Each structure stands twice: as structure tokens, then as C-alpha cells.
Structure 1
Amino acid sequence: MSQNENAVTNGIFPMGPKNDAYAQFFTGQSYLQSLVADPAVNVGVGNVTFEPGCRNNWHIHHDGYQILLVTGGEGWYQEAGQAARKLHPGDVVVTHDGVKHWHGATKDSWFSHVAITAGTPEWLEPVSDADYAALEG
């Protein structure tokens, strides 16, 4: 069993099904469980789970923001032009409108966060394998 797998896959929120709807924007396997899907609320809230090595593409939230509440495992968060930040349970990340960024699991750990998202995402290029591998060094 990979590092943190049991803690992440049996976390406080359900892991959810495979994230097929957004698979084209991820390297590796992720899972998505919607936690708030109320049309009267202008934010989405979901539990996102990443298998080891999984990460999403670079992306930007337009006319909104994203808040990540890390609930399990170890992961990475990086904004364009900045060093990557290693994430652990209890960490909080605030991504402001228009900031290019990505997030995902470390190479050898499962990772989960609750994503609170407003606005429209613009999905961009994948994080290169070379850039991702360099984070583990």
C-alpha cells in the first residue's frame, strides 16, 4: 500500500468516483466527490483525491478564485514563476483570480483536498514530467 493510501481513501469525506469528466486535464488518476452542488450557491465544493504522482494541468480561474483545504496525504501546489510548496493535512491554499497554478500528489503519496471554487477555469498545458520529477529531488 502506498504512503497515506488508507488515510486518504478512507478520509473524512467520500473519495468519490474516478474523475472521468476532467481526466483530460490530469496526469494520472484522480477522483472527485461533489460536496455542494446547489444552483443557488455560486461556488463549487468538491473533495478531490489524487493517486501518487497524479497532478492537474496548469490552470487559471477567471472571475473567481480557488481555496484548497488539504485533508490527507502529501501534495504540491505551485504558482507560475514561484517555487512549488509541499502540502500536508491542515494546509490552506488561496489562489486568487487570474493566477496560473497547478496542484497534485507527491510521487509516492496519495493526496486529497477540498476545493472551493468560483469562476471559470481555463485549462492549460500539463506540468511536464521533468519539472514534476525535479520537485522530488
Structure 2
Amino acid sequence: MNMDINAINGACHCGGVRFHVRLSNGLHSARRCNCSYCRMRGAVAVSAELADFRLLEGEALLTVYRFNTGSARHYFCSRCGIYTHHQRRSNPDQYGVNAACLEGVSPFDFAEVPVSDGISHPKDNPGGSGSRQAGVLRFIPS
């Protein structure tokens, strides 16, 4: 897997939502989060600036989910249910993009994925030390 991928296309499972994205730091920004929503969603996300994400098809299919403070916007396809991207609460100028939606990328391609501590979100702790890592998720093929 090329961790230095720059620009890449992506889509939801049914192909109704299609996008092109230029990643901020290739696949090196891959991470998960342990907040209540991300824990259940289970996706590996990579980073992109808002201006570097271009929706090609399926705007009418996208549905947004917000919870807690309502500041993060989690987008998913209303037809197949796949989460494609979200506008971050921690950095509203960025999207987290579902790595599994990127062409030729699987979450199982990552040997290790850092897990951000979303339970103790940095925006809930003003004056704190910022984002911290809660752990690491490993995939060890058998």
C-alpha cells in the first residue's frame, strides 16, 4: 500500500456517492476514535482540507448525522448506509474521510491505527493539552 497517496477517488458501497479527494498527508493521517459514535461506526479516517474534497455524484443521497454538541457533521449514503466522510469537531476546516471508501484501500491494509481519545475530546477541556492518543488498534493477519 502506498502511504503517500495524494489524490484519489472514493465512493460509498452502492456507488451512488462518488468523490475525489486530495489527502493532507496521504494515508499517514489514518486514525480511529473512541467516542460513542466512532466506536460504533468502526471506520479508519484519513484527513483532507474542506477545499480538497470534491463531491462528484450523489449529493442528494447524502444524509448528515449530528450528535452531542452538533458541531461535527457525519455524512453517509442514504441508500447503502455507508459513512463516507465527516467534518471534524476538533478541526472544522478538515474532513475525516473513510479510508475504506477510497479506491484500492482497505482498513485491513493498516498494520496499526492510532486511536484518538474522543471520549475526552480536546474541545471539552479548554486550556488542556489538546488531542491525545487513547491507544493503537492492530490488525495481525492469520
Q: Under a length normalisation based on structure 1, what TM-score does the superposition of the two structures give? A: 0.28
- Report which of the two structures shows the higher radius of gyration computed on alpha carbons: 2
Q: Under a length normalisation based on structure 2, what TM-score does the superposition of the two structures give? A: 0.27
RCO higher in structure (CA 8 A, sep ≥6): 1
